Amino acid sequence: MRSINTLKLSLIISCLFLIGCDPVDRMKIINESSEAIYYFYSCDNSLRDLYIYRDSLYIDQRDGKFLRSHQYIVKDTFKYIGIRGFHGEWERYIDECKGNKIHFFIFSDSTVKKYSNQEIRYRKLYSKHYTFTKEELEHNNWTITILP
């Protein structure tokens, strides 16, 4: 009897994982700029919560290769970014933002190498600043293209 209950619980938890998480491929950032970039998103344009993880290496679970910070995107490539939570979490996040808009800040690799997070925040040293509504992102298939 105990093993049947354990099996049921395992099955329920597995189903929640399969249908509960927002897909990793929901938001896509394409870097067509002239150099590598870092990104940061927020509900406002203050940068008060800005933190850029520099040169952080982690192991890709798929192939065991070392990769750089999840905020880092090499030029002429793209990256899918996710948000923790359940399906529709991007929508909920944007709905809770001021004016129902999400802000994406783009920082050049050279700026991130040269300045501290505090200085980038204080001097607002971003290369680009994009503001999107949920409807705009849906219209663009949740894709943001960073141009030169």
Burial class (CB in 10 A: 0-12, 13-18, 19+), 102: buried
pLDDT higher than threshold 80 for residue 54: no
Q: For residues 64 and 56, what is the distance between their CA atoms, to the nearest angstrom?
A: 15
* Of 9 and 90, the one with more pLDDT: 90
- Cβ atoms of 105 and 42 within 8 Å: the answer is yes
The pTM for the full model equals: 0.75
Task: Give mean pLDDT, residues 54-72.
Answer: 60
* Sign of the dihedral through C-alpha 61, 49, 84, 35: negative
- Give the pLDDT score at 112: 92
Strand partners, 145: 30
Q: For residues 122 and 117, what is the distance between their CA atoms, to the nearest angstrom?
A: 9
C-alpha neighbours within 13 Å on the C-beta side of residue 135? 2
pLDDT higher than threshold 80 for residue 24: no
The residues spanned by each domain of the chain are 23-146
Which own/partner contact pairs does 12-20 have at CB distance under 8 Å and 24+ positions apart?
Answer: 19/87, 20/86, 20/87
- Give the pLDDT score at 111: 95
- Predicted confidence band at 20 (pLDDT cuts at 50, 70, 90)? very low
Task: Give mean pLDDT, residues 4-10.
Answer: 52
Q: For residues 117 and 111, what is the distance between their CA atoms, to the nearest angstrom?
A: 10
pLDDT higher than threshold 90 for residue 82: no
